[in-house]
Amino acid sequence: MKILVAVKRVVDYAVKIRLKPDKSGVETSNVKMSMNPFCEIALEEALRIKESGRASEVVAVSVGQAQCTDTLRTGLAMGADRAIHVEYPGTLYPLSVAKIFKALVDAERPALLLLGKQAIDDDCNQTGQMIAGLLKWPQATFASKVVLDEGNKVATVDREVDGGLETLSLDLPAVITTDLRLNQPRYATLPNIMKAKSKVIKKLTPLDLNVEIRSDLEVVQVTEPPKRQAGVILSSVDQLIDRLKNESRVI
Amino acid sequence: MLKLISSSKFKSSKSLTGIQISLYHHLSSTSAHSSSSNTAPFSRKYIGFWQSRFLRAHSNFADFSPNSVGEVRSFCSESVRRECLNYDVVIVGAGPAGLSAAIRLKQLCKENDVDLSVCVVEKGAEVGAHILSGNVFEPRALNELLPNWKQEEAPIYVPVSSDKFWLLSKTRAFSLPSPFDNRGNYVISLSQLVRWLGLKAEELGVEIYPGFAASEILYDSTDKVVGIATNDMGVAKDGSKKDIFQSGVELKGQVTLFAEGCRGSLSEKVISKYNLREKGHGQHQTYALGIKEVWEINDDKHHPGSVLHTIGWPLDPKTYGGSFLYHMKDKQVALGFVVALNYSNPYLNPYEEFQKFKHHPAIQPLLEGGTVLEYGARTLNEGGYQSIPYPVFPGGAIIGCSAGFLNVPKIKGSHTAMKSGMLAAESAFRALCEGSSLEAFWDSLRSSWIWKELHSARNYRPAFDYGLYPGLALSALEHYIMKGRSPWTLKHGKPDHEATDEAHKWNPIEYPKPDGIISFDVPTSLYRSSTNHDHDQPAHLRLRDPKIPELINLPVYAAPESRYCPARVYEYSADENGHQKLQINAQNCLHCKACDIKDPKQNIEWTVPEGGGGPGYTVM
């Protein structure tokens, strides 16, 4: 069984981000970039499935600009067998990425597609769901536990939902997006990083996959959240009601 | 390629036993998958010890005599725990010195048509992540190393346009004649430059591994350094192995270069093991703590290339230190405060002095309307010529600030660090290819411009041990009259940690509260350093005796570590019985090494945390 894992190159989670002066987005030049933490978890899950003998190949895929190869090399160092880079230098939105993945899945025919639940730069939480929709595959998002059956036909997935845990049973091929508590990703060891440097990363473009990148969204402005106002201690309930009614207008 | 050698030459060799042959085949089969990026007939990257000896004996250029190779105490595959990788040269630290050495080695390889494998390990998550410096850069060494740096788009854009030197009082600034001559120098971000050097090194075939911290020095049975080992990853706070545990890796090198920067943790061990201070110029090293912020200010206040240094307020005349303010490009300004660590008042808080300084009427207007982009701190060497240790030891050398080549009156150390790396590379190259001794590095240092510079700069800093005004007077004497040709060499005072006075002789200093606009509290600043460590790991700051903080530091010295640490790692809080207990917030650490230097009883030992942790400097 082949597993395809989608990985995204994002601003490292520990970096203090700031806005570009023209408010068009977050400053990403001269900023440390790494693999999205949820994508790391997805890749780790794929590797564990492979190590348990249930999968034969783990393929890491990234869509984006040229430096995505760094992220893919990290994936190879963690243990992925192959890597594919779909190069596109411009801005990408979830629907475009989903279309690219549909084309890739049609070509590679994996039995399982793993993604992180969302990327920490845009927090969209859409790509996995959209791919499943385009492929008409079953999907289980926010996975906190994934168990495959004997014949690799059915995946039993625990999902973290607002009310608690929900367990779904999916027929493969399926799309699963991973949540934080699924596993703890392994370190890429130095010898593996060394070996990954010489592995080949397959390069494709959206054109090769017959996907036209069309931007359906336009980012108008990105601003910092308003500075938190200090709290005010009021002296009576009447004052509270007055404020809620006339100032905040919530009642 | 390797298999061919094994079939033709290898079997005919009578010197190797059956065990070694089978191990060789094992190792060569695992490395057969790898392809070397260089064009040499064979790469030494994956070759074990015996193979490299064999290849050396049969190669026509590497003539490292069997005696100098020595015996490896633990043969790679016998040691079950750790994987072992062999290189010709292992460099600890991807900073200006380490990368210059790596680049120079590869350049020499190209010029002489040989190949040496060079590996650089770096504890920061990226190359440049732990680099912090003022920085007014003198391109002297870079011009020698990479003369085409401008065409190759090195991030060196802003030439120095003005050079000011002020003596501050509480309310005024008095302009003094500038002791610096920065014509031909540039205002840069050293972190950016080091990143670029890393790219250049990789282009030449150097292997750089950021995110791996060298934590252990490997010795052979003759007590010669044969390499380093990285630390285990995935160890929990209590010392147990987590699920993701990975043991460290041994990186063995024919030559090991330590380029860890000021007060390098492994460099200090090597210096004490081989008595390198006594063998060198003999004096102890003295240090200062530099705390820096990069601001983005309003365009109308920004003058690229403007360089300002101040002395005086807020420090008292007995404490050496001052500020720097350099205008970079893109409306960015590098602003920092340096305090010599031989201060006596245990209540001194260098971070708070910096925050106080920013409110000076000559400084504050510049910062109004601006925002802080990054914050960080790092110690630097002030010992100069008198404190240079003998940098060569069996198996390698110490380069850059780990040895200490900073020119204190110029406040520049990047160019000398780079040059020391280049000279070490040249000596190492000759040692590996011609069998000469690595001790030639010391001779090449002494006949280089580093020596002339540091020798003529040697008396400025020690003069200030007499106080600010005597120091200025003596410096003026040195600069204008003696011009570096003084027949005397002043000695340093007490080592920094011994200089701290007992707390009862001083009064606590009342520092003003930060206003959140110009001055900030430590947590806010710390956030701007992007520093992070995995919380579930053993604290990398070790107490040699855990009782000393509560028995000595707190009652006798009023816990100076809670003040000089720019990251608030050391905090005292009351436990349930009301006793003050030391809490070490290792996660905050900026890797500045101030605690390792200044702790009065030298009880705090700074060791490397798990690789990849620490600050994330990008424009520092």
ipTM of the complex: 0.86
Question: Is pLDDT larger for residue B7 or for residue B276?
Answer: B276
At residue B363 the predicted structure's pLDDT band, cuts being 50, 70 and 90, is very high
Chain A interface mutation, best of B618, B619, B620, highest count of A Cβ atoms under 10 Å? B618
| Count of beta carbons in the 10 Å neighbourhood of residue B583 | 12
The reply to whether B42 touches chain A by the CB within 8 Å rule is: no
**Looking at residue B70, what is its pLDDT?**
35
CB contact under 8 A, A190 and B233: no
What percent of chain A is modeled with pLDDT above 90? 73
Question: Cα A90 from chain centroid?
Answer: 18
**Looking at residue B362, what is its pLDDT?**
94
The reply to whether B343 touches chain A by the CB within 8 Å rule is: no
Average pLDDT over residues B207-214: 95
The string of pLDDT tens digits covering residues B251-272 is: 999 999 999 999 999 999 999 9
CB contact under 8 A, B616 and A32: yes
Nearest CB partner across the interface for A195, out of B33, B125, B373: B33
The reply to whether A163 touches chain B by the CB within 8 Å rule is: no
**Looking at residue B209, what is its pLDDT?**
95
CB contact under 8 A, A31 and B618: yes
Rounded distance, CA A7 to CA A34, Å? 10
pLDDT at residue B135 tops 50: yes
CB contact under 8 A, A14 and B45: no
CB contact under 8 A, B37 and A198: yes
Give the count of Cβ contacts less than 8 A between chain A and B: 62
Q: What are phi and psi of A47, to 5 degrees?
A: -65, -35
Mean of the per-residue pLDDT values of chain B: 86
Is residue A225 reached through a cis peptide bond, with omega within 30 degrees of 0 on the bond before it? no
Encode A207-222 in three state secondary structure.
Answer: CCCCCCCCCCCCCCCC
Residue of B155, B156, B89 whose CA lies nearest to B120: B89
- Please, what sign has the CA dihedral across residues B544, B546, B551, B554? positive
**Looking at residue B8, what is its pLDDT?**
37
At residue B65 the predicted structure's pLDDT band, cuts being 50, 70 and 90, is very low
pLDDT at residue B328 tops 50: yes
**Looking at residue B166, what is its pLDDT?**
94
**Looking at residue B310, what is its pLDDT?**
94
At residue A20 the predicted structure's pLDDT band, cuts being 50, 70 and 90, is confident
How big is chain B, counted in residues? 620
Both structure tokens of B324 = 């720097």
pLDDT at residue B205 tops 70: yes
Q: Are B304 and B272 in contact (CB under 8 A)?
A: no
CA distances from B292 to B1, B97, B328, B377, B590 (A): 51, 21, 14, 6, 12
Give the chain A residue whose CA is nearest to the CA of B529.
A16
CB-CB neighbors (< 8 A) of A187 in chain B:
233-234, 244, 246
**Looking at residue B304, what is its pLDDT?**
95
Distance between A162 CA and the closest CA of chain B, angstroms: 28
Average pLDDT over residues B593-610: 95
Nearest CB partner across the interface for B126, out of A32, A186, A198: A32
At residue B537 the predicted structure's pLDDT band, cuts being 50, 70 and 90, is very high
| Beta strand A2-6 pairing with B136-137 | unpaired
The reply to whether A12 touches chain B by the CB within 8 Å rule is: yes
| Count of beta carbons in the 10 Å neighbourhood of residue A10 | 22
CB contact under 8 A, A190 and B230: yes
Lowest mean pLDDT among B95-104, B420-429, B481-490: B481-490
Lowest mean pLDDT among A42-56, B48-62, B501-515: B48-62
CB contact under 8 A, A32 and B242: no
Give the chain A residue whose CA is nearest to the CA of B38.
A198
CB contact under 8 A, A30 and B618: yes
Q: Which residues is B294 bridged to in the sheet? A: B334, B374
CB contact under 8 A, B616 and A191: no
**Looking at residue B72, what is its pLDDT?**
35
Rounded distance, CA B232 to CA B33, Å? 26
CB contact under 8 A, A12 and B234: no
Rounded distance, CA B248 to CA B233, Å? 7
At residue B332 the predicted structure's pLDDT band, cuts being 50, 70 and 90, is very high
Residue of B57, B396, B27 whose CA lies nearest to B228: B396
**Looking at residue B477, what is its pLDDT?**
86
Would you call B224 exposed, middle or buried from its count of C-beta atoms within 10 A (0-12, 13-18, 19+)?
Answer: middle
Residue B312 identity: G
Distance between A183 CA and the closest CA of chain B, angstroms: 10
**Looking at residue B29, what is its pLDDT?**
38
Rounded distance, CA B601 to CA A99, Å? 64
The reply to whether B244 touches chain A by the CB within 8 Å rule is: yes
Which strands sit side by side in the sheet containing A164-171, from one edge to the other? A164-171, A154-161, A139-148, A174-178, A112-116, A2-6, A57-64, A82-87, A201-204
CB contact under 8 A, B246 and A189: yes
Residue of B72, B436, B47, B432 whose CA lies nearest to B255: B432
CB contact under 8 A, B85 and A15: no
At residue B20 the predicted structure's pLDDT band, cuts being 50, 70 and 90, is very low
Nearest CB partner across the interface for B209, out of A12, A193, A198: A193
CB contact under 8 A, A194 and B373: no
**Looking at residue A150, what is its pLDDT?**
80
Give the predicted TM-score (pTM) of the model: 0.86
The string of pLDDT tens digits covering residues B21-33 is: 333 333 333 333 3
Q: What is the helix (H) or strand (E) element at residue B370, kind and residue range?
A: none
Distance between B35 CA and the closest CA of chain A, angstroms: 6
| Beta strand A174-178 pairing with A112-116 | parallel
- DSSP reduced 3-state for B304: coil
Listed in sequence order, the DSSP H helices in B230-280 are 265-273, 276-279
Nearest CB partner across the interface for A187, out of B83, B85, B244: B244
The reply to whether B31 touches chain A by the CB within 8 Å rule is: no
Nearest CB partner across the interface for A14, out of B207, B230, B530: B530
- List, as one string, the DSSP characters of chain A: -EEEEE--EEE-TTS---B-TTSSSB--TTS-EEE-HHHHHHHHHHHHHHHTTS-SEEEEEEEESTTHHHHHHHHHHHT-SEEEEEE--S---HHHHHHHHHHHHHHH--SEEEEES--TTT----HHHHHHHHHT--EEEEEEEEEE-TTS-EEEEEEEETTEEEEEEEESSEEEEE-GGG--PPPPPHHHHHHHHTS-EEEE-TTTTT-------------PPPPPPPP---S-HHHHHHHHHHTS---
Q: Which residues is B163 bridged to in the sheet? A: B307
What percent of chain B is modeled with pLDDT above 90? 74
Q: What are phi and psi of B121, to 5 degrees?
A: -105, 145
The reply to whether B455 touches chain A by the CB within 8 Å rule is: no
**Looking at residue A30, what is its pLDDT?**
79
Average pLDDT over residues B505-525: 93
Q: What are phi and psi of B477, to 5 degrees?
A: -60, -50
pLDDT at residue B2 tops 60: no
Chain B interface mutation, best of A12, A16, A224, A228, highest count of B Cβ atoms under 10 Å? A16
Question: Is pLDDT larger for residue B572 or for residue B45?
Answer: B572
Q: In chain A, how long is the greatest CA-to-CA distance?
A: 72
Q: What are phi and psi of B574, to 5 degrees?
A: -80, 135
The reply to whether B126 touches chain A by the CB within 8 Å rule is: yes
Nearest CB partner across the interface for A187, out of B207, B233, B251: B233
CB contact under 8 A, B85 and A194: yes
Convert B180-192 to b/e letters by CB count within 10 Å (16 or more is b): bebeebbbbbbbb
CB contact under 8 A, A194 and B207: yes
Chain B interface mutation, best of A31, A190, A199, A224, highest count of B Cβ atoms under 10 Å? A190
Average pLDDT over residues B475-480: 85
The reply to whether B530 touches chain A by the CB within 8 Å rule is: yes
Q: Which residues is B370 bridged to in the sheet? A: none
Rounded distance, CA A160 to CA B292, Å? 44
Residue B7 identity: S
The reply to whether A240 touches chain B by the CB within 8 Å rule is: no
The string of pLDDT tens digits covering residues A195-239 is: 999 899 999 999 999 998 888 788 899 998 888 888 888 899 999
Rounded distance, CA B48 to CA A189, Å? 19
Chain A interface mutation, best of B209, B246, B296, highest count of A Cβ atoms under 10 Å? B246
Lowest mean pLDDT among A111-120, A125-134, B221-230, B531-540: B531-540
Average pLDDT over residues B46-61: 40
Q: Are B409 and B457 in contact (CB under 8 A)?
A: yes
The string of pLDDT tens digits covering residues A91-149 is: 899 999 999 999 999 999 999 999 999 999 999 999 999 999 999 999 999 999 999 98
**Looking at residue A29, what is its pLDDT?**
83
Rounded distance, CA B297 to CA B368, Å? 8
CA distances from B258 to A95, B99, B101, B192, B255 (A): 50, 11, 10, 22, 10
Distance between B364 CA and the closest CA of chain A, angstroms: 23
Residue showing tokens 């990105």: A222
CB-CB neighbors (< 8 A) of B618 in chain A:
30-32
**Looking at residue B66, what is its pLDDT?**
37
Question: Is pLDDT larger for residue A152 or for residue B147?
Answer: B147
Residue B191 identity: S
Nearest CB partner across the interface for B530, out of A15, A191, A194: A15
The reply to whether B37 touches chain A by the CB within 8 Å rule is: yes
